[in-house]
Amino acid sequence: MALTQRPNLRRPTLEDVARKSGVSKSTVSRVINDEPKVRAEVVDRVREAITELGYVPNQAARQLVTHRTNAIAVVATEPDNRLFLDPFFDCLLRGIRRELAEHGAQAVLLFLDEPDDYARVADYLGGGHVDGAVLFSLRPGDRLPEMIDRIGLPAVFGGRPLLRDGDTMHRHAYVDGDNRGGARQAVQHLVSLGRERIATVTGPYDQETSAADRLAGYRDVLLDASPDLTERADYTRQGGADAMSALLDRCPDLDAVFVASDLMASGALQTLRARGRRVPEDVAVVGFDDLADIAESTDPPLTTVHQDVEGMGRLMARLLFGRTERIEAPPSVVVPTRLVLRGSA
């Protein structure tokens, strides 16, 4: 079988459309860009020529003069535990996409898998393919923010970036949940329930500020909690299950646990059930995120710290518009959380 689908030899240009409709390139350009001062009759004629020729504007040419692409990059580091499969990220990304779409901008998602990817992605971002970027889950000491700076590309970060000493990251805009405050609410609730041995399953607090902040919130309330009651996991379901197991081994008498994400909490619930603990009678469980797909369908349903994740995504997009379009938008934003009581605590 031969190649049947090949690129057309020459795509029609403005010039072709102009010739066909008997006007100048400028007029065609005006029609394409919906500029008002063109006679209706001419508009029709041009439109007709456009469809007949199957004309699609060459964005590279347009970009070259307007310096705008109408595209926004979303850059995500794909860690060992698949970011991609995380419902939190899915939800956040949906928010970003929707907000961008409502502004007529195209979201393009780029991944950073291997170290080699950095150079290529940096070239892409610096090459004028996009008007701005939203950046996620960067590792501490990541070179990307610095690259972004050099390039001079408007950017917004998902989550408060982890600072290296003397870093300039505070100059970057970000959107984050009130992780510390939310964690505090969660743990205070457990305390108010009369629980006395309150453990916590944390995220990778050396890698992500969200994890560090949630742990800090736990410690804010439980100033003198035993270190045995803290177990670090990786924001995956399996990680949550394993961490719960370790906690039970170490502290069989624990009567509550604050798990730093719903996904991990669902794993923890599984472990608790397998090990014969009743929830919430024996062990009260509070999660974090309030992802509908998870928190409402666990058994029992999860008491958890609510974040408006899709809203955070939208907010990130809006902040970015603030930086590309000079639309009114605050610099960085910390989104409030609230505790949602369900069955698990």
Partner DNA sequence: TTGAAAGCGCTAACAA
Partner DNA sequence: TTGTTAGCGCTTTCAA
The torsion angle over the Cα atoms of residues 68, 74, 75 and 77, rounded to 10 degrees, is 180
The CA distances from residue 51 to 20, 44, 56, in Å, are 11, 11, 9
Residue 299, interface with a copy of itself (CB under 8 A)? no
d(CA 56, CA 122): 28
Binder among 38, 71, 225, 335 for DNA (CB under 7 A): 38
- Contact predicate 287/265, CB 8 Å: yes
Residue 57, interface with DNA (CB under 7 A)? yes
Strand duo 303-306 + 338-340: pairing: antiparallel
Q: How far is the CB of 81 from a copy of itself (least distance, A)?
A: 10
> Is residue 28 within a helix (H) or strand (E), and if so which, with residue range?
helix 25-32
CA 2 to chain centre: 43
Q: What is the 3-state secondary structure (H, E, C) of 40-74?
A: HHHHHHHHHHHHHHCCCCCHHHHHHHHCCCCEEEE
Partner interacting with residue 124 (select from DNA, a copy of itself, none; CB below 5-8 Å by kind): a copy of itself
Partner interacting with residue 37 (select from a copy of itself, DNA, none; CB below 5-8 Å by kind): DNA
Binding mask 18-37 for DNA (x = CB under 7 A): ----xxxxxx-xx-xx--xx
Binder among 44, 52, 61, 343 for DNA (CB under 7 A): 61
Ranges within 130-149 binding DNA (CB under 7 A): none
d(CA 192, CA 256): 12
Binding mask 38-77 for a copy of itself (x = CB under 8 A): ----------------x-xxxxxxxxx----x-x-x----
Give residues in contact with a copy of itself (CB under 8 A). 1, 3-8, 11, 54, 56-64, 69, 71, 73, 78, 82, 84-85, 87, 90, 93-94, 97-98, 101, 104, 106-111, 113-114, 116-117, 120-121, 123-124, 126-129, 149-155, 171-173, 238, 297, 322-323, 331
